[in-house]
Chain A
Amino acid sequence: MSEGILVANLDDIAEGEGIAIDKSITGTDDNIALLRDDDGAVWALDDTCTHETASLAEGWVEDGHVECPLHASKFCLKSGDVQGLPATRNTCPHRVEIRDGGIWLFPNETP
């Protein structure tokens, strides 16, 4: 269990949107997308779509899913499981904690 990294403030991400946290900060292979669902909850997934090179942080976030901005492959925010073609491979979820309005990321920990 790592200590986590303070990567952003809750106010940095509007509901239904996302931001990408660079891999130099997260220490992971890929950048990590912080995605804020329309209910306000924040989730974290590997940022690069498993289909083609596109940033999920720039996707459409709604109702527990993010839709890739390129070809609309859909991933579950919580599990990273692919929900719709053209992507066929799941993406990797990471654990997030909100403390005093700060978003703490725990790379490679299961949510």
Chain B
Amino acid sequence: MSSTCSVVIVGGGIGGVSTAAALRNRGFLGDLTIVDAGELPYDRPPLSKDYLAGRKSLDDIALQSPDWYDDQSITLRNNTTVAALRADSGTVELTTGEQLRADRVVLATGGQAVRPRLPGAGIDALHVLRSAEDADNLRKVLLPGARILVVGAGLIGAEVASTALHLGADVTLVDPLAEPLSAAIGRDAAEWLHSVHAANGITTITAGIDGFEKTTDGIRTYLRGEPHHFDAVVLGVGMTPNTQLAEWAGLAVDRGIIVSAGQLTSNPAVLAVGDPTRRTVDGAVRKRAEHWEAAQHDGARAAATILGLSLPAETAPWFWTDRHGLHVEAVGQMSAATTAVTRGAIGEPPFAVFGIRHGNVVSAAAVNDSNAVRAARRLIDRAIAVDCRQLGDPGVDLRKLLRA
């Protein structure tokens, strides 16, 4: 057991709260503090779905109940922001001037929604979605009949478009790609998934955007050269990592906080987890993962590193997205596949598409068939060779392939 007596976690998203939970789970008995700018740490995936739709409250989407922090002896410094990190002295300086001392600091600073530097990008009716406050502001304009433009049809954009439609808005969804998400779920599945928007009544346009103009009753933008008018616009075009504290503290940052396989930054007194990080695995610096479960796994690794315990086993990256009543999951690296095997028929859920390389599953994507993805994850993690005919046969129980 290491001699760490105190840990301060900066940020109460899924990465920060998972780090705290994992530290206590694995036996950390020292002082544990989470500093967070909000009232009570909450889960972000519902912000584009049930929370945006008004079906769930902030209390409903709390990552943990208020009692949990007491039960776990975690000091939650809520409504608190950090001004600076002094890595060498292990000091976190709050914007109030108060200083928190810690043996180890964990940066779980998250990110911000990208606001592209386009003409008109500062107009009030241009929304982004990253926080509950963003969702509250957006909900006010998603009224029946409101003309809403959603820019970006990846994950958040597609989910917001679906929620807005089901709230009665008149939704246009624009993306420069004809098949958004194809890198993650494969071209054919992506093409069909994108077509579901139009089938439900969303106008989908393949185009880029070069600016916005404020008009007397909303926003005008040009799509494929034609002027279009909207009451509000939602930008779902990605995130920028919050790396400022790390940069000011002199930590290695390159489009993300560079961390080791065990989440250590370039200063061993400081760890970092979640969206703003880039992990170094087998000598290669990975891209930012930017997924919910990835942040959770970062937290588990950070806790293990702090406690001097072995790291949890690596597992293939996984994410989900929910839109128009469909549940989509994907696992692994689609780009690594050389051939694809379809189980069921694309466009007729439940179905799954597996990516294969040298007789092994390297990726899978499924619509309304999450157990196919859960099976694929285990096939990938355990490097089990598969028979493609069995994999593609909906009559074959995929659990049997795991026991082969």
Contacts and interface: CB of A to CB of B under 8 A. Distances in A.
Interface residues of B, number: 22
Interface in B279-328: 293, 296, 318, 320, 322, 327
Given A85-B296, A88-B62, A69 B45 contact: no
A103 B399 CA distance: 23
A58 B45 contact: no
Contact of A69 (B18, B68, B293, B370): B370
Contact of B397 (A14, A52, A84): A14
A80 interface: no
B43 A86 contact: yes
Interface in B1-39: 14, 18
B64 A67 contact: no
A107 interface: no
Interface of A: 14-17, 52, 58-60, 67, 69-72, 84-86, 88
B62 A58 contact: no
B371 A69 contact: yes
A15 B399 CA distance: 9
Given A88-B63, A88-B64, A70 B397 contact: no
Closest 3 CB pairs of A and B: A60-B374, A16-B399, A69-B370
A35 to B, nearest CB: 13
B50 A52 contact: yes
Contacts of B65: 88
A70 B63 contact: no
A77 B322 CA distance: 26
B374 A85 contact: no
Contacts, number: 41
Contacts of A88: 62-65, 68
A86 B63 CA distance: 7
A69 B293 CA distance: 15
- The winner among B43, B64, B65, B375 for most chain A CB atoms within 10 A is B43
A84 B318 CA distance: 15
Contacts of B14: 85
Nearest to A69: B370
B374 A67 contact: yes
Contact of B18 (A14, A72, A85): A85
Interface of B: 14, 18, 43, 45, 50, 62-65, 68, 293, 296, 318, 320, 322, 327, 370-371, 374-375, 397, 399
Contacts of B397: 14
A10 B45 CA distance: 38
Nearest to A38: B399
Contacts of B50: 52
Contacts of A52: 50
A84 B64 CA distance: 11
Contacts of A16: 399
A108 to B, nearest CB: 24
Contacts of A85: 14, 18, 43, 63, 296
Nearest to A58: B371
Of A70, A84, A85, most B-chain CB atoms within 10 Å = A85
Given A16-B399, A88-B64, 15 more contacts: A14-B397, A14-B399, A15-B399, A17-B399, A59-B371, A60-B370, A60-B375, A69-B327, A70-B370, A71-B45, A71-B320, A85-B14, A86-B45, A86-B63, A88-B68
Contact of A70 (B18, B64, B327): B327
Contacts of A70: 320, 322, 327, 370
Contacts of A72: 293, 318, 320, 370, 374
Nearest to B320: A71
Interface centre among B50, B293, B322, B371 (most CB of A within 10 A): B371
A53 to B, nearest CB: 10
B99 to A, nearest CB: 31
B401 to A, nearest CB: 12
Nearest to A70: B327
B115 to A, nearest CB: 28
Contacts of A14: 397, 399
21 contacts: A14-B397, A16-B399, A58-B371, A59-B371, A60-B371, A60-B374, A67-B374, A70-B322, A70-B327, A72-B318, A72-B320, A72-B370, A72-B374, A84-B296, A85-B63, A85-B296, A86-B45, A86-B63, A88-B62, A88-B65, A88-B68
